[in-house]
Chains A and B, each alone.
Chain A
Amino acid sequence: MPRVLRPRAKGLALLAAAVLAAAPAGAQPRAPHLRPADTSDEGGIWALSEKAELAARQSAERNRDPALNGYVTGVVAKLAPEYQGDIRVYVMDRPFFNAQMAPNGYGEVWSGLLLRVETEDELAFVLGHEVGHFSENHSIEAYRALKARLGATMAVQFAVAAVAMGAAVNAGSAQGASDIMRAAGALNDLLYLGQLAAYFGFSRENEVEADGLGFQRAVKAGYDPAAGAHLWRSLIAETGASSFKRVREQEARVSIFSTHPLSSDRVKALDDLAAKTPTKASAAADRKAYRAAVRPHLAAWLKDDLRRRDYGQSLALIDRLSAQGEDLGVLTFYRAEAYRQRRGEGDLELARKAYAQAGAHADAPVAAWRTLGDLSLQAGDRPAAKTAYETYLARAPQAQDRWLVEASLKKLSEGSAT
């Protein structure tokens, strides 16, 4: 949770509540199956978005699992039946919390988000939020507001630059990577969602409105009203667990929130809405169902998450996911990996214990035994190293590093391993 709610933040909280309460009053939702004229300003933005979509479709980061993509598309269909055929959401294997939707109906949901939501209800809230940006034409609204303020030429430059940034992220040039890293380095992942949620930086009012619309769509489709607030709260807690002081402290930096409501405001506004709505009671069953949908990708996504090397956040996430009591072999293995890679004081011993704990579960990756052998050898526990290596070879007889493990065992038997 943010540690400071400053006077200005209280003002923002009131604003967030007011906007949520008002949404979507006065809004003019996009008509289904709309395609703007090519010569219109919106037509131009669509053309740019279509190029970005093509890059996303061809990207190596695209997750092509038909079951997973079908699952996500199914959630969108429940949330926005009127836009069936208009919205296309692609799953991308990128270890950041992000979803985005372009004006032409092309959307992305990133694996870092799918890893962090705990139920379909939470996923529905985020996707509903993105559908809210789409249905309310926030991108076009932002473009026209900018055009009125800055003039047509500047607004076009802004649109091209904003869409190009989205395209660069997908295209994967070194500069694109640089943009991602700068964005991610300057902002925490929670804000990263807001900043990259679409090709335009939405106004604070747009973001809060999209929260409200996401809430309404999710509840209408039968999802848990408390899901949105629970998800934001989880992300705030994870940000607070970051290994990096700058990331942890950004939560309370008002300047970072200059165009977005403080996260705590958004949580409170959603809590207020949920309090007025009957809640769902089947959270445990929902968690199980959602985990079953993402389970085939859990290990790969955790491995990707560790490549961010924010071990504080990764460990907080693994703790949260472990509380469900499922997939403990995989989750405990990656907890061990986080300790091993972090290598702070006492971490290698924590890693050794965690690998051993992972090995007690049937779903533990077999590498747990090899690494347990390596760490036991380093710790001078030769019997434990021998047992772990032998278990590894028995369970992975075709391992490409078999010769290496056999060499270690030979040295152990000769008494020469250190």
Chain B
Amino acid sequence: MIRTNTLRLLTASALVMSLSACVSVTSAPAGPYKVGAATVTLGHEWSDISAIMFARPAKVRLLSMDGPLLNRLYVTDGLAPGEFMVKPMAKERPTPTYRAGMAPTELVEFVTDSVAALDYQRVETDNLRPAKVGSAEGLRFDLKAKTKEGLDISGAAQVAEVGGKLYVVLYIAPSEHYYAAELPEVETVLGSVKVG
């Protein structure tokens, strides 16, 4: 049973996004959730809020339980060199871009700078560790940040390069209650990434 209150979710969403008449929040039921070549397994139903999220490229999907201000789970298809997680709003204000040949720490930087481009402040990483994504070597790390209003945010991220493309799973939520509430589910999702 989904915990999301759809009305509350939409109300919260409306505060931070432009809604058009032809987009909607949909269900992402428990089980396999496919984003292009990537598939993750959801342990319970989420709301797919991709269609109403601001500055989202087509290869990035966004799930939430309680609304985008309270928890966000980004899952990307493979980003090719030159692609990004956050769509730039103007040519003069580019967002972080994935490039071929990035060192592992540059992949971490790509994610943290993307989180900063989503308007989070003072983004820091911790606990960088190896991760397996299928047969590929990936990286896991934790994040700390703040909203502009000063709310503490925690995050968990995983990146892996497969076939020259970058696959990212990123979870961010307020440190108080919301982050821990979904962390066991997110750990399962992070461990379930399959490519191809």
Please tell me if B36 contacts chain A, counting CB pairs below 8 Å: no
A182 touching B90 in the complex, CB below 8 Å, given contacts A172-B119, A174-B17, A371-B103: yes
Contacts of B130 in A (CB 8 A): 403
Contacts of B101 in A (CB 8 A): 378
Of B19-27, B142-150, B188-196, the one with at least 4 CB within 8 A of chain A: B142-150
Please tell me if A404 contacts chain B, counting CB pairs below 8 Å: yes
10 interchain residue pairs of minimum CB distance = A172-B148, A185-B90, A60-B146, A374-B103, A174-B16, A60-B121, A60-B150, A244-B92, A177-B119, A309-B94
Cβ 8 A contact of A308, one of B55, B89, B93, B125? B93
Near B by CB (< 8 A), chain A positions 151-200 give 170-178, 181-182, 184-186
Please tell me if B122 contacts chain A, counting CB pairs below 8 Å: yes
A: contact size bracket:
35 or more
A59 touching B150 in the complex, CB below 8 Å, given contacts A174-B16, A400-B128: yes
Contacts of B150 in A (CB 8 A): 58-60
Please tell me if B135 contacts chain A, counting CB pairs below 8 Å: no
Q: How far is the CA of A30 from the CA of B167 in the complex (A)?
A: 59
Residues B148 and A171 in contact, CB atoms below 8 Å apart: yes
Q: How far is the CA of A375 from the CA of B101 in the complex (A)?
A: 10
Residues B113 and A307 in contact, CB atoms below 8 Å apart: yes
Please tell me if A310 contacts chain B, counting CB pairs below 8 Å: yes
Residue picked from B96, B126, B128, most chain A C-beta under 10 Å: B128
Cβ 8 A contact of B122, one of A58, A60, A176, A308? A60
Q: Which residues of B contact A (CB under 8 A)?
A: 15-17, 54-55, 89-96, 99, 101, 103-106, 113, 116-117, 119, 121-122, 125-130, 146-151
Contacts of A174 in B (CB 8 A): 16-17, 54-55, 119
Contacts of B113 in A (CB 8 A): 307
Q: How far is the CA of A251 from the CA of B133 in the complex (A)?
A: 49
Cβ 8 A contact of B149, one of A58, A307, A370? A58
| Closest-CB distance, A352 to chain B (whole angstroms) | 12
Q: How far is the CA of A370 from the CA of B109 in the complex (A)?
A: 14
Q: How far is the CA of A60 from the CA of B116 in the complex (A)?
A: 13
Q: Which residues of A contact B (CB under 8 A)?
A: 55, 58-61, 93, 170-178, 181-182, 184-186, 242, 244, 246-247, 307-310, 340, 343, 370-371, 374-375, 378, 400-401, 403-404
Residues A60 and B89 in contact, CB atoms below 8 Å apart: no
Q: How far is the CA of A124 from the CA of B92 in the complex (A)?
A: 30
Q: How far is the CA of A171 from the CA of B119 in the complex (A)?
A: 11
Contacts of A172 in B (CB 8 A): 119, 121, 147-149
Contacts of A184 in B (CB 8 A): 92-93
Contacts of A246 in B (CB 8 A): 91-92
A404 touching B99 in the complex, CB below 8 Å, given contacts A61-B121, A172-B149, A244-B92: no
Residues B16 and A175 in contact, CB atoms below 8 Å apart: yes
Q: How far is the CA of A173 from the CA of B21 in the complex (A)?
A: 22
Q: How far is the CA of A242 from the CA of B94 in the complex (A)?
A: 13
| Closest-CB distance, B84 to chain A (whole angstroms) | 11
| Closest-CB distance, B118 to chain A (whole angstroms) | 8
Residue of B nearest to A246 (CB): B92
Q: How far is the CA of A186 from the CA of B93 in the complex (A)?
A: 10
Residues B89 and A182 in contact, CB atoms below 8 Å apart: yes
| Closest-CB distance, B55 to chain A (whole angstroms) | 8
Q: How far is the CA of A87 from the CA of B3 in the complex (A)?
A: 49
Residues B93 and A185 in contact, CB atoms below 8 Å apart: yes
Residue of B nearest to A244 (CB): B92
Residues A60 and B103 in contact, CB atoms below 8 Å apart: no
Contacts of A178 in B (CB 8 A): 54, 89
| Closest-CB distance, A45 to chain B (whole angstroms) | 24
| Closest-CB distance, A181 to chain B (whole angstroms) | 5
Residues B105 and A404 in contact, CB atoms below 8 Å apart: yes
Residue of A nearest to B103 (CB): A374
Q: How far is the CA of A8 from the CA of B175 in the complex (A)?
A: 56
